[in-house]
Structure 1
Amino acid sequence: MAAATRVLSEIGLLIYPDAQLAAVHGLTDLFRIAGMMVAGGGAPEPPEVRVSHWQVGEDGEPACVYDSHPGPEHRLSHVIVPPSLVVPGEIRAVDASARWLAGLHAGGATLCSVCAGAFVLGRTGLLEGRRATTHWYFAAELAARFPDVRVDADRMVIDEGDIITAGGILAWTDLGLTLVERLLGPSAMLETTRFLLIDPPGREQKPFGRFVPRLDHGDGAILKVQHWLHGTHARDHALAGLAERAGLEERTFLRRFKKATGLRPTEYAQAVRVAKAREELELTRRPIDQIAWDVGYGDPSAFRKLFARLTGLGPAEYRRRFFVG
C-alpha cells in the first residue's frame, strides 16, 4: 500500500510571453523527482511540493493553467519567473505579472527569477537595494535599467531569503535544487542531484563569463583608446600614453573612461589581457608561463593570481575545463 503524502508548499511558475518553456517543464520535473526521492526514503508520510503554472489571460489576470495537485485552494509559497527566449529589451507584457508578483510577495510568498527573468522581477520594484544576479551578458543592462539593484553577475544564485535570483539560462537547475534543499532538506537535494547527474548548487558564473566591452557610449575619444587597446591586446596601458592618445588631460581622461566603460583603464587592460589568455588556454597547449608573457605579464605568479580573481579558476584548472583545441 502506498504511503500517504502531504503537500508541504506550492511553487508557482509564471509563463509570460516568450518565457523559456524548457525551464518551466524542467523545474516541474525536478520538483517531482525530488518528491520521488523523498518518498523512496520510507517515511510514513513523505512531504510533496505542489507545482502550478500561471499565465496572464485576456483579462490581464494570471490564471492557473497546470496544477500537479488540483483541487485544494492555491496558496503559493514560492513563485519563479523563468528565463526569456528573447533579449530583455524585447520582453513583452509584464506589467500585470509584476503587479501579481508584488501582491504575492506582500502576502508572504518568496519570489524567484532565472536569467532574464530578473528584468520581470525588477519591474515589481522589490529588487531595489537588494543583491541580485542575472546572466553575465545582461548584467550591465540590468544595472542600467534598475540602478538601485546591487547586481552581482559572478554568482549563480543569490538567496536574499524572500527573493532569490539565479544567473544563466540553465541556472534553473541551481535554483530548483536550492528550493528543494530549503523545502525538503539537504538529503533530498543531494539524492536529486545524484539521480539527475548534476552538480549541487554553489557554482559561479565567473568561469563562463566573457569580457563584453561597452562601445556604444558615444564618447569618440574614449572609443578611439578602446579600439587601440583591443588592437594591441593592451600590452601598453600607461595612463599618460592613453590620455595623450585620447587628446585629453589625464584627470579628464580617467573620469570619462570610467563613465564610458564602467572600468578604470588598468582594470580594462587587465580584462583585455585575460580575455586573450582565456582564448589561448582554450585553443592551444602552449605553456601557461609563455601565455602569461605573451599577454603582458612578466611575473607568472602575478598572472595566475589575476586570472583566478577575474575568472574564478586558476589557468591550469581553466584549461582542464574548457580546452577545445
Structure 2
Amino acid sequence: MNRQPPLDIVLVAYPAAQKAALYGLTDLFAVADEVSRKRQERAAPVLRVLSMDPDRFTGASSGREGDSTSLPDAPSVVIIPPSLTGPPNPETVPELLTWLRTCHEGGSILAAVCAGTFLLAATGLLDGRPATTHWSAAARLQQAFPAIRIDPDRLLVDDGDILTVGGIMSWPDLGLRLIDRLLGPAAMLETARYLLIDPPRHDQRHYRHFVPDLTHGDRTILKVQHWLRTEAARNATVADMTSVSGLEERTFLRRFHKVTSHTPLDYLQRLRVEKSRDLLETTALPLEQIAWEAGYQGSGAFRKIFTRLMGQTPADYRRRFSPAGSSRE
C-alpha cells in the first residue's frame, strides 16, 4: 500500500482574494486527488489543500475532513489567487513576503494569478525572470518592478519553480498545469475531461485590448493620436503622422515613443487591428472589406499583422468571438 504523505497546496486567502478562485481551485484539486487515488488504488489522499490567512500564518484544511492543521514548512505549492480589487499592499504584510521567500528556499513552487503577481513580485523572487499578469495591469506591474521581464501576451508563464497566470478567470489553467506537474499529464487530462474544461491555454493576446495612453500631457503627440481616429487617417503612414505633428521626423519619432511606449508604426498597426476586431465580432463583412476598413490595402498584409499581434488568424478569431460564429471569408 502507498503510504507516501499527500502533496500540500497552500492557497493564500487574503481578504480580497477572489472567492471563485479559492473555492474553484479547492474543487479542482479535489477532483484530481480522486482521479489519482483511483488510478493508484490508494486510500490516502494524494493532494491536500490548505487555506492560509496571511495575518495568522496558520491554515485550516480545505479537504473533506475539514480538520485544522498548521502550515507545512515547505508545501509543494503556494498559490496567490487573483482579486477584483488587488492584493494587499506588500508593505502591510512583510511577514507574508518573508514566508513566501522561505517556502521558495525550501523547494516550494510559487504561483500567482492576475493581480496576485504584484504580491509575488514584492518578494524580489521575480527579478530578472519572465512573468505575466492581466494585460490591463502589465504596464503598472512593469513600472513598479522594472527588473521583471513581463510578457502580457502570454496567459501562463511556467518558469519551473515560479508560475504566473494572466487573466482573472485563468486559475483553471494554473490548476491544470500544476496537476500536470505534480501528478502527470494523464491525471490532468482526466481531471479536465471530468470538469469539461480545456487543457491549459498559453496566450491572452486575443483577449487583450489596445488602450492608448491619452493622459501623457504632450499635446503635439496627442494631436496625432486624435487624428489617427479620424476617417482622414484611414490609410495613414508614419510620414503622414510626422506631417500632422509639425515636428522634424527624428524629434517626432523620439517623442512619440517616449509618451506611448510604441513606435508610430506599431501604434498604427495596433489601432487598425483593434478596429478590425470590432468588425470581426459585430459584422459579417468579408475579410477583404474588413482589411480595407481597417486601413490595409490588401487582406494578405492584414492577416499577417493580425495573426502576429493576436496569436490567431482573423478567421479563427471571428469563429471564436463572433456571436454568429461564422464568416464569409
Distance 1:289 1:244 in 2: 29
What's the offset of the Cα at 1:41? 2.3
Q: Cα distance 1:234–1:311, how it changes in 2: closer, same or farther (>3 A)?
A: farther
Number of equivalenced pairs: 320
Alignment of 1:241-252 (within 5 A): 241-252=240-251
Does 2:13 correspond to 1:34? no
Q: Normalising to structure 2: TM-score of the pair?
A: 0.90
Range that drifts further, 93-102 or 152-161: 93-102
Q: Cα distance 1:144–1:238, how it changes in 2: closer, same or farther (>3 A)?
A: same
Alignment of 1:115-134 (within 5 A): 115-134=114-133
Alignment match, 2:184: 185
In structure 2, give the amino acid aligned to 1:25: Y
Alignment of 1:1-325 (within 5 A): 6-41=4-39, 43-44=41-42, 48-57=46-55, 61-68=56-63, 70=68, 74=72, 75-87=74-86, 93-232=92-231, 234-324=233-323
SS in 2 for 1:140: helix
What's the offset of the Cα at 1:89? 9.4
Aligned identity (percent) is 48
**Contact 2:12–2:51 (Cα < 8 Å) also in 1:** yes
**Contact 1:156–1:202 (Cα < 8 Å) also in 2:** yes
What's the offset of the Cα at 1:72? 7.7
What's the offset of the Cα at 1:90? 7.5
SS in 1 for 2:5: strand
Q: Cα distance 1:156–1:233, how it changes in 2: closer, same or farther (>3 A)?
A: farther
SS in 2 for 1:141: helix
Distance 1:47 1:320 in 2: 42
**Contact 2:8–2:77 (Cα < 8 Å) also in 1:** yes
What's the offset of the Cα at 1:202? 3.0
**Contact 1:6–1:45 (Cα < 8 Å) also in 2:** no
**Contact 1:7–1:50 (Cα < 8 Å) also in 2:** no
What's the offset of the Cα at 1:300? 0.9
Distance 1:102 1:120 in 2: 12
In structure 2, give the amino acid aligned to 1:283: T
Distance 2:302 2:262 in 1: 19
5+ residue gaps in structure 1? none
Q: Cα distance 1:91–1:276, how it changes in 2: closer, same or farther (>3 A)?
A: farther
**Contact 2:130–2:149 (Cα < 8 Å) also in 1:** yes
SS in 2 for 1:51: strand
**CA RMSD for the aligned pairs?**
2.2
Distance 1:190 1:54 in 2: 28
What's the offset of the Cα at 1:103? 2.0
**Contact 1:239–1:250 (Cα < 8 Å) also in 2:** no
> Could you give the per-residue CA deviations for residues 9-67 of structure 1, whole angstroms, max 9, x where no partner exists?
2111101231112101111110010011112325356761111111122xxx5221445
What's the offset of the Cα at 1:98? 2.0
**Contact 1:83–1:117 (Cα < 8 Å) also in 2:** yes
